[in-house]
């Protein structure tokens, strides 16, 4: 898992927009729907460890492929894979976010 740089995502942001506007410029909103994988994946670290290395009873996830992670998250979300907490968490993520995080953390 690399944390060396975070991908850029651009959306409307008032202070910077005002700053740019002051120069008679404008900023093109880029794909606001493209999730910033490094930032979202960082949420996993509080239980799964930085980079998904696992800790104690919480499983290592960085040895899984992106497809395996995605499959597990979908199964958690749909209640097909039993869990204590992951079902509740998986329901909070969109397909695009799951895919981005899986690609980011998963074994390449």
Contacts of 93 (CB under 8 A, 6+ apart): 40, 73, 77, 101
What tokens were used for 19?
A: 């700053």
Of 5, 19, 1, residue with least CA distance to 62: 1
Name the 3-class secondary structure at 61. Answer: coil
Annotate each residue in 42-81 with x if it binds other proteins (CB under 8 A) or - if it does not, as one string.
Answer: xx-xxxxxx----xxxx-----------------------
Task: Give me the least distance between CB of 1 and other proteins, in Å please.
Answer: 11
Task: Give me the least distance between CB of 106 and other proteins, in Å please.
Answer: 18
Contact positions toward other proteins, by CB under 8 A?
A: 3-6, 8-17, 19-20, 23-28, 32, 34-36, 38-40, 42-43, 45-50, 55-58, 84-85, 88-89, 91-94, 97
């Amino acid at each position: 898992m690399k944390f060396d740089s975070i991908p850029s995502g651009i959306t409307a942001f008032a202070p910077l927009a005002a700053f740019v506007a002051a120069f008679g410029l404008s900023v093109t909103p880029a794909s606001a729907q493209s999730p910033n994988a490094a930032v979202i994946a960082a949420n996993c670290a509080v239980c799964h460890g930085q980079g998904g290395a696992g800790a104690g009873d919480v499983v290592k996830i960085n040895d899984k492929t992106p497809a395996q992670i995605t499959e597990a998250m979908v199964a958690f979300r749909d209640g097909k894979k039993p869990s204590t907490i992951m079902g509740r968490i998986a329901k909070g993520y969109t397909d695009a976010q799951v895919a981005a995080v899986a690609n980011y953390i998963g074994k390449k």
